Amino acid sequence: MSTAQPDLASIGDALHRLTRTIHRRKAQLAAESGDSEWAAHLLLDQLFTSGPLRAATLADSTFTDPSTVSRHVAALVRDGLVERRADPIDGRASLLVITDAGVRTVADKRSRRTEWLTEMLEPWPAEDRAEFARLMEKFTLAMESQSPASVAPMAVSEGNH
């Protein structure tokens, strides 16, 4: 066994715990706020970041089933956070565009996330926060470059614990 294996096992265990904690916290926040459409807000955030997208492109970029995207987009449109506009390249298709209310919603959620992280990480030395930010970005980029199938072991371990 290589010396890296124990480190990788520890990272896997920590990542598993982090994933479970995030799922638990999302469920708690949704219950407290009545925001049962957490996944819809992930789509909203993608539109904020990417700009207008077709539904199929939004589904691809978020690794989400098109029928799920359709259901969540309907809720976002109903709530005035997203609107459908004719695609200027192909008028038969529509683009999903974040509205001003959607931008405010994303900005508010990001602000609350920053407040939460500030509170949680404030005791850390500045150098530790900077190193964590650098490594988290590096890890996230590596994970984003993986195919969904390669992340399957995480999903399997989620179901076992």
Q: pLDDT tens for the chain, 161 residues: list them.
A: 445 577 888 988 998 999 898 888 777 776 666 555 677 888 999 999 999 999 999 999 888 889 999 999 999 999 999 999 998 888 888 999 999 999 999 999 899 889 989 999 999 999 999 999 999 999 989 988 887 666 555 554 444 44
Q: Which of 21, 46, 51 is nearest to 109 (CA)?
A: 46
Ordered by start, the domain boundaries in the chain are: 37-123
Residue 160, Cβ density class (10 Å: 0-12 exposed, 13-18 middle, ≥19 buried)? exposed
User: What's the pTM value of the predicted model, to 2 decimals?
Assistant: 0.73
| Per-residue pLDDT, 33 | 60
| Per-residue pLDDT, 35 | 58
| Per-residue pLDDT, 1 | 46
Domain 37-123 has CATH 3.40.50.2300: no
110 to 2, 99, 105, 144: CA distances (angstroms)? 40, 16, 9, 20
Q: Which of 35, 38, 30, 40 is nearest to 81 (CA)?
A: 40
| Per-residue pLDDT, 22 | 82
| Per-residue pLDDT, 104 | 95
- Are the C-beta atoms of 33 and 26 separated by less than 8 Å? no
| Per-residue pLDDT, 160 | 44
| Per-residue pLDDT, 70 | 92
